[in-house]
């Protein structure tokens, strides 16, 4: 290393430093080696992960009552401004996504009321089933009103769910009761796995069960109301 000092014409002295490095080649070998790709990719991955957490996805707003999306792809998501719910396309239908503050739309159907002897008569739709689906779970409420039943017939009472109603992964047991002339009687409905028929039963004093018919556990008439509530896992 050399040091050269020269006086300046109108200012301070000018200092020149000369540095000479002697190496045996090892330093140049280190400088010229290719970059460590593993370090580069690790750094890139770290940067992408930070970017990923900063990205926000907002589903398009669509009024399904007037402008339901056409030709959707599986997984497409929209916010239905009419129902105020998120929905996604599962390849067959639009499925509502549950919200902690908003419940899914309540589905209402009118099953067919029957007896095993096929001799019950009525007008209108005495059976109403309302259900809410959240994922694979369905919560349902069933009501049978005697106001439109002209003859309760004979044999066990049951009702048949309409086509298109979800099928269930297991047997479904729905507890309930009958109100009749101010009295209340315990009953339950049983729907076997894969079936669409829910048969009505009433518990007996010996721990067993008996069928619900026109006169058991009480004599049914126009004032009778049968209520069932249940939760089931959809197949």
Q: What is the pLDDT along the chain (235 residues), one digit of tens a residue?
A: 455 555 555 555 555 555 555 555 555 555 555 566 677 777 777 777 766 665 556 788 999 999 999 999 998 999 898 888 888 999 998 988 766 666 677 889 999 999 999 999 999 999 999 998 888 899 999 999 999 999 999 999 999 999 888 889 999 999 999 999 899 999 999 999 999 999 999 999 998 999 999 999 999 999 999 999 999 999 8
**pTM of full prediction above 0.85:** no
H/E element holding 130? Answer: strand 127-134
Domain 107-233: which CATH class?
Answer: mainly beta
The C-alpha R_g of the chain, in whole angstroms, comes to: 38
The residue length of the chain stands at 235
Query: Cis link prior to 217 (omega < 30° from 0)?
Result: yes
Question: What distance lies between CA 119 and its chain's CA centroid?
Answer: 40
Query: Start-end ranges of CATH 2.60.40 in the chain?
Result: 107-233
CA distances from 87 to 16, 63, 78, 80, 103 (A): 75, 11, 5, 7, 13
């Amino acid at each position: 290393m050399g040091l050269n000092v020269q006086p300046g014409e109108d200012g301070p002295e000018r200092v020149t430093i000369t540095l000479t490095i002697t190496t045996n080649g090892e330093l140049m070998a280190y400088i010229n080696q290719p970059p460590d790709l593993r370090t580069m990719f690790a750094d890139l991955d770290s940067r992408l992960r930070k970017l990923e957490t900063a990205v926000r996805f907002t589903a398009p707003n669509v009024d399904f009552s007037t402008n339901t999306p056409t030709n959707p792809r599986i997984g497409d998501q929209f916010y239905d401004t009419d129902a105020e719910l998120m929905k996604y396309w599962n390849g067959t239908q639009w499925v509502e996504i549950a919200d902690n503050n908003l419940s899914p739309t309540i589905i209402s159907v009118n099953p067919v009321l029957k007896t095993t002897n096929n001799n019950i008569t009525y007008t209108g739709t005495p059976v109403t089933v309302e259900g809410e689906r959240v994922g694979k779970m369905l919560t349902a409420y069933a009501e049978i009103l005697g106001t439109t039943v002209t003859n309760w017939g004979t044999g066990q009472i049951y009702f048949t769910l309409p086509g298109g109603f979800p099928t269930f992964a297991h047997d479904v047991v729905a507890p309930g009761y009958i109100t009749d002339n101010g009295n209340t009687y315990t009953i339950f409905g049983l729907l076997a796995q894969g079936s669409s028929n829910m048969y009505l039963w009433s518990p007996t004093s010996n721990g067993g069960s008996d069928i619900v018919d026109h006169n058991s556990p009480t004599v049914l008439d126009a004032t009778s109301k049968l209520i069932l509530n249940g939760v089931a896992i959809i197949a």
